[in-house]
Copies of this chain bind each other. A is one copy, B any other.
């Protein structure tokens, strides 16, 4: 016998129950994307290498999956480059395409390529696989699904507020309470850097600040000292990291502390503007978080990050922010953007852990029709066709196996109903319908059996 087959490390097979759960989350996200005016697009799995290389830094280039040129073209392999250990050059000599590494760069390419076919401001969503040759570990895979929504071609606090509403709507739909939507603003961080007397060291201080949760204020101060921040700067920072209370109050305190920093004042005013459009929501799950500094190399305005409920020990389940000039990479300038993204795998893990999947997801079939012989099945067939036309999911057991085996199948399929039609039922002109949950069986006249039997 051949060796038991397997799949590449970091990839996954999804069994029916997995697909049901993932589809539930994806469809919930898509539905909300559409309610917020986002339209779906799809891009090819393979992009030209030239479109992707150099767009994700050195790490991205290293983790990209390259697709070999097909057929005779591999003959052009640059063996000299290989001998000189110039692996990038060697790769380029035998590969012109790479697998999508994220959805953002292909989206930028798409906007530039199709700019004359799009209706701006253009809100698009995209739910597709991406591939990264990362070392696999819990929750990290080499093929995974991203769920992104972006708007390009307009800058407005309404759009930024709607991203917050959209996060909230998705979590509400998933019955996921206590996810925290954290916001910050790039300009506030820049203002603070200047306030601390280190305008060009925003990264140093945000990297330290980001660890506040883990190492506490003392730890952050130690790290900043090592990086050369003086006592004066640390004294200034103390009240900033002590901010607490309602979001509006935090912004008030921040504004009074940073009143001499025009950039920070601008960022605070902008967040207030955004909040005015969010206020109809119960914003108890919305927090200002000064330590939030993700994507500082591309976010230029508001920054979002969503944390799962505290009892689930997992990283962020959503993120996003405002960025400028994304499409400049492909030659189209001044196309500003704002985007958010849901982490599908982590979101699924959170729902699993909190047992939030609807129980009905386990029922992929409504009724299993047991098989007592050809003639019985033939008599039932017109009914079965009618039920299916009305939306009932019917599994007709295909062969006359022993009843025990058929019932075992019905049990394992989680179908709520099993239908019996054999000699006894034929005589009495009835069907027997067994409720697989409570075990009760009822006999129903064959003249009155319609699809509503199974949808109750």
Contacts and interface: CB of A to CB of B under 8 A. Distances in A.
Contact of A43 (B13, B91, B133): B13
B70 A68 contact: no
A3 interface: yes
A429 interface: no
Interface residues of A, number: 116
Contacts of A392: 35
Given A5-B113, A129-B45, A378-B277, A169 B40 contact: no
Specify which of A68, A120, A393, A394 lies most central, judged by the most chain B CB atoms within 10 Å of its CB.
Answer: A68
A395 B131 contact: no
Contact of A39 (B16, B112, B142): B16
A119 B412 contact: yes
**Copies of this chain, how many?**
2
A15 interface: yes
B46 A154 contact: no
A143 interface: yes
Specify which of A77, A143, A409, A412 lies most central, judged by the most chain B CB atoms within 10 Å of its CB.
Answer: A77
Contact of A330 (B5, B12, B14, B66): B5
A114 interface: yes
Contacts of A158: 371, 377, 396, 398
A440 to B, nearest CB: 23
A409 B42 CA distance: 22
B5 A112 contact: yes
A27 to B, nearest CB: 10
A19 to B, nearest CB: 4
Given A2-B330, A113-B6, A19 B40 contact: yes
Interface in A68-90: 68, 70-72, 74-75, 77, 79, 82, 85, 87, 90
Given A67-B65, A87-B74, A398-B121, A7 B43 contact: yes
Given A13-B110, A16-B124, A158-B377, 4 more contacts: A11-B44, A32-B388, A37-B393, A277-B377
